[in-house]
Structure 1
Amino acid sequence: MRIKIGLFNFLCISIFGLFSNLSFSQELDPVLQDLIKKGLDKSQTVNIKSLEAQQAKLDQQLAKSVFIPKVTLNGSYTRLNDDITFDEDTQNLLVATQKLLIKEGAGVPFNAPFPDGIPLKETPNLQDKNILKTSVDVDWVLFSGFEASNAIKASKHKESSLNYLGMAEKDKLALKIIETYDKLALVYASEKVLNTSENYLNEQEHYVRKAIENGLATPIGRKKIELAQQQLEGKKLEFKHNKTLLIEALHQLTGESRDNLKLIRPKLESFSLNATSNTEKRNEIKALEEAEQATLYKSKMEKSHFIPKVALKGHYEFIEEYLSLLDPKWYVGVGIQWNVFDGTQSSIKAKKSKIESEIYRERIEEAEELINVSIIKANQAYQSTLQNSKIVKKEIELATDTYEMVNKQYKNDLASINDVLDALTDLEKANFKLQESLFDQRRAVTELLHAKGVLNY
């Protein structure tokens, strides 16, 4: 029985058909895009960065609230051991003054005796022993010496830095999900290769069985095929285990149920990549630049500690009867606070923040150098995968032709069953290499796009 050559052609066509050119950013598998979205929603690291950015936003509101008037309501009751009064000499002086004023009003000479029957007012207490107070205070910072404004700017840049760090974490997570998804696609593609090899072995087994019945072959040939079939089953089991592990990995990354993940059938599809695609600034660089600006404004904030601060103070008493003779019912004032010398603490803090910004600048330059190197390496890897794909295609053509030739020779007693099995193994390896080269190509594309800062998902 002859193996149909059409089966080989079908195998090659089905495999090469996977190489449809797609644009990475627009043509990602919708299932993969959905998994990435779920993974980003689930990621604790991404959520933590988002929460930290929210904290930085609240820091801005705290800094702005410095200029909002603070209103405080106060209430108190105090019981003194006794009333606070004038001393005896002062009381006598006040009584004598009162008498003089009454005489003057009545037209009586000041040295005449005080008229009888005219009542005198008692000298009031300076403070009654029962004191009940309710009041309101208003404190309003009019000028913070640029300390608050610099704090606001520092918090804004810190928020931006944390947002960019969150985006960088999203990129890393997306890369991990894409890689795991592609590995799962590689497993399914490899299973197809194994199924095709199984069909070939079944046909060879059928041929050998017939040949043995007709005395044209020995049982040893059938045993060799059975051994090859068992080895094939071992490979299938290995791929099954790999599939289980990859589904579990996707479940951990995305939170998608294992049952749903078992239903998906990812495919390896090649991506066309524009070699002249633009390079954009990576989120990691943006995060470092924003952090640098935040520390610069923090340094300015520390320096502004020596600039005078201006504030308004207001006070109003609701209950007047309990006030002492010296207490005002209300007052408003403007004050200046000027920290002339604080033991060089502010200066040291400002220098420390400045050094921190210089550290970020060094990190930026280091990161830019590493990114430039990664772009070169990723581009070289991509070019290598393209060349490797061409080589593998030729290997498949050669392995297919070799298998067909050896199979014909075996049918004509010009080759042994070992030669047929070796040729089939070579064809299987070539098909595996094709799937692996396609996987490597997709990895190279994603790494290059990520290195260039243009990875979209």
Structure 2
Amino acid sequence: MSKFTLFIMTLCASLCSTGIYAQEVVRQVMSIDEMFSLADRNSKSLRPYATGMDEAREGVRVAKNARLPEIDASLSFSYLGDGRMMDRDFSNGFDAPMPHYGNNFAIEASQAIYTGGAISNGIALARLQEENANLSMESNRDKIRFLLIGYYLDLFKQQNQLRVYEKNIEQTRQVLKDLQAKEGEGIVLKNDITRYELLLSNLELTYTQIRNTITILNTNLTTTLGLSEDIMIAPDTTILTRVLPVEDKESWTVAAYANSPMLKQMSLALQMAKHQDKIIHSERIPKIGLFAGNHFDGPIIIEVPPINKNFNYWYVGVGVKYNFASLYKTNKSVSRSKYTIQRTLEQYEDAKEQTELSIKAEHVKYMESYVELNTQQKSVELANQNYAVIRNRYKNDMALITDMLDASNSKLAAELQLVNAQINIVFNYYKLLYISGTL
């Protein structure tokens, strides 16, 4: 082998090893609280709602601007042509020379004193919108957290299932090896080997599908959390040993009434509808305001002949404004507002009822998951006893290897279902937290 060929092979090996190293997957154990904290900081889905909070905060400042005085100023320069005078029957006309250059400067200020509650209710409405934006942020944060809980616990299940299939594949390969050895002795038929080869093929296919599912779930988690895809998240197994509170459904219902972002938003919608109703009623109330102004005009063209001089004057006063059209225009708006309030109240009561029903249903499932756990614990106990008996019989040549395989698979499956039952308890608990708004 030439030195050049050796150099090329060494370089290729170096590049390949570098590429493999760059794609190395890093396993990271992550607790649920750590996952929530990362999601709150990095989730792109929450950013629009954070911006919406800033937008609503500025909306309050804009609404408060209605309390500030209005100041208008204008400045203009003009060229005036000569006038023409004539009798009323348009006869005896003659030209009337005028000063040709005109100017106008005016400044006016006004301050609302009483608006029938339009300004104060507008500010209150803006503040409620700000609070609603905060609740939207909280609601969508809970949605993302609950979505992540689903990914997280499903990933936990899939990783456990992967280990079970790894063990099953290993055992099936060992059985095939033993059967192939016995085939040479004429003890085992080819059909038996074919059956286990098909079983192994199906196990390997399912194993691949589980790995792909794990990859998808992990990608969903890392993307939402703002982490690199090279990180493989490993759920914290200590969640299975946590003692979760078992409260009655009435306590969960009370918590939901007090904390549910959805119910809070419905309550805010009702308050907003009432403030909007007050704004509509304020259209029927006279508006009172102060005003002041100063004008500097020239020339004075209201005199004949015009006076080529500047004229400055100022004024202050109190004004009352009333829109008589509101007497017949706002009736429909008032009637519509009344129905809006009624509809919003009915939606709020319906939301409370639906929340209570959801709490009751999920509480039943939560308590049912403890029954499932007890059942699976008994199944594991029985599967272990069965495995011990078959294993002892197999050692004494009183059982076939297939019996040993079945007993082992039953034991692994029971252990897997036990872990899944423990995970279901955690999921149902967090679902109750999500519905009650305490996630």
For this structure pair, what is the TM-score category when the shorter chain's length is used for normalisation? 0.7 to 0.9
Residue of 415, 424, 441 corresponding to 2:399: 415
Are residues 1:181 and 2:158 paired? Answer: no
CA distance in 2, matches of 1:180, 1:74: 63
Residue of structure 2 equivalent to 1:107: none
Structure 1 unmatched ranges of 5 or more: 1-26, 88-124
Are residues 1:405 and 2:389 paired? Answer: yes
Residue of structure 2 equivalent to 1:61: 61
Q: Which string of whole-angstrom CA distances, capped at 9 and with x for unpartnered residues, describes residues 361-407 of structure 1?
A: 11111111111111111111111111111211221121122123223
Q: Give the partner amino acid of 1:131.
A: G
Shift of 1:254: 3.7
Residue of structure 1 equivalent to 2:292: 314
Residue of structure 2 equivalent to 1:19: none
Q: Give the partner amino acid of 1:265.
A: A
Q: Give the partner amino acid of 1:347.
A: N
Q: For the Cα contact (< 8 Å) 2:283–2:330, is it kept in 1?
A: yes
Shift of 1:294: 0.6
CA distance in 2, matches of 1:83, 1:223: 115
Q: Give the partner amino acid of 1:450.
A: Y
Are residues 1:146 and 2:146 paired? Answer: no
Shift of 1:217: 5.7
Residue of 131, 135, 140 corresponding to 1:160: 131
Are residues 1:81 and 2:88 paired? Answer: no
Residue of 366, 369, 390 corresponding to 1:382: 366
Assess, with a 3 A threshold, how the Cα gap between structure 1 residues 438 and 50 changes in structure 2: closer, same or farther: same
- SS of aligned partner of 1:257: coil
Q: For the Cα contact (< 8 Å) 1:133–1:322, is it kept in 2?
A: no
Are residues 1:433 and 2:417 paired? Answer: yes
Shift of 1:421: 2.5
Are residues 1:135 and 2:113 paired? Answer: no
Assess, with a 3 A threshold, how the Cα gap between structure 1 residues 37 and 55 changes in structure 2: closer, same or farther: closer
Residue of structure 2 equivalent to 1:283: 261
Q: Give the partner amino acid of 2:340.
A: E
CA distance in 1, matches of 2:372, 2:243: 16
Residue of structure 1 equivalent to 2:329: 345
Q: Give the partner amino acid of 1:67.
A: R
Residue of structure 1 equivalent to 2:209: 238
Assess, with a 3 A threshold, how the Cα gap between structure 1 residues 332 and 82 changes in structure 2: closer, same or farther: farther
Assess, with a 3 A threshold, how the Cα gap between structure 1 residues 311 and 127 changes in structure 2: closer, same or farther: farther
CA distance in 1, matches of 2:205, 2:84: 103
TM alignment of 1:19-58, pairs within 5 A: 28-38=31-41, 41-43=43-45, 46-58=46-58
Residue of 230, 233, 258 corresponding to 1:264: 233
Shift of 1:47: 3.8
Q: Give the partner amino acid of 1:333.
A: G
Q: For the Cα contact (< 8 Å) 2:53–2:134, is it kept in 1?
A: yes
Q: Which string of whole-angstrom CA distances, capped at 9 and with x for unpartnered residues, describes residues 162-213 of structure 1?
A: 3213311211111001111111121112222233444545665676678789
Assess, with a 3 A threshold, how the Cα gap between structure 1 residues 34 and 145 changes in structure 2: closer, same or farther: closer
- SS of aligned partner of 2:209: helix
Superposed CA RMSD: 3.2
Residue of structure 2 equivalent to 1:332: 316
* Deviation larger for 294-303 or 185-194: 185-194
CA distance in 2, matches of 1:160, 1:350: 26
- SS of aligned partner of 2:234: coil
Assess, with a 3 A threshold, how the Cα gap between structure 1 residues 36 and 55 changes in structure 2: closer, same or farther: closer
CA distance in 2, matches of 1:195, 1:304: 74
CA distance in 1, matches of 2:428, 2:284: 55
Q: For the Cα contact (< 8 Å) 2:162–2:210, is it kept in 1?
A: yes
Assess, with a 3 A threshold, how the Cα gap between structure 1 residues 354 and 56 changes in structure 2: closer, same or farther: farther
Shift of 1:155: 2.0
CA distance in 1, matches of 2:234, 2:228: 15
Shift of 1:243: 1.0
CA distance in 1, matches of 2:60, 2:156: 47
Higher Cα Rg, which structure: 1
CA distance in 1, matches of 2:281, 2:97: 48
Q: Give the partner amino acid of 1:232.
A: L
* Deviation larger for 369-378 or 298-307: 369-378
Residue of structure 2 equivalent to 1:103: none
Are residues 1:359 and 2:337 paired? Answer: no
* Deviation larger for 217-226 or 403-412: 217-226
Q: Which string of whole-angstrom CA distances, capped at 9 and with x for unpartnered residues, describes residues 20-65 of structure 1?
A: xxxxxxx9435423442256x310xx44444444444444333322
Assess, with a 3 A threshold, how the Cα gap between structure 1 residues 341 and 365 changes in structure 2: closer, same or farther: same
CA distance in 2, matches of 1:241, 1:444: 26
- SS of aligned partner of 1:288: helix
- SS of aligned partner of 2:150: helix
Q: Which string of whole-angstrom CA distances, capped at 9 and with x for unpartnered residues, describes residues 120-152 of structure 1?
A: xxxxx9984421122322222222221111111
CA distance in 2, matches of 1:129, 1:299: 54
**TM-score when normalising by structure 1:** 0.74
Q: For the Cα contact (< 8 Å) 1:392–1:434, is it kept in 2?
A: yes
Percent of aligned pairs with the same amino acid: 22
Say how many residue pairs are matched: 384
- SS of aligned partner of 1:311: strand
**TM-score when normalising by structure 2:** 0.77
Q: For the Cα contact (< 8 Å) 2:60–2:130, is it kept in 1?
A: no
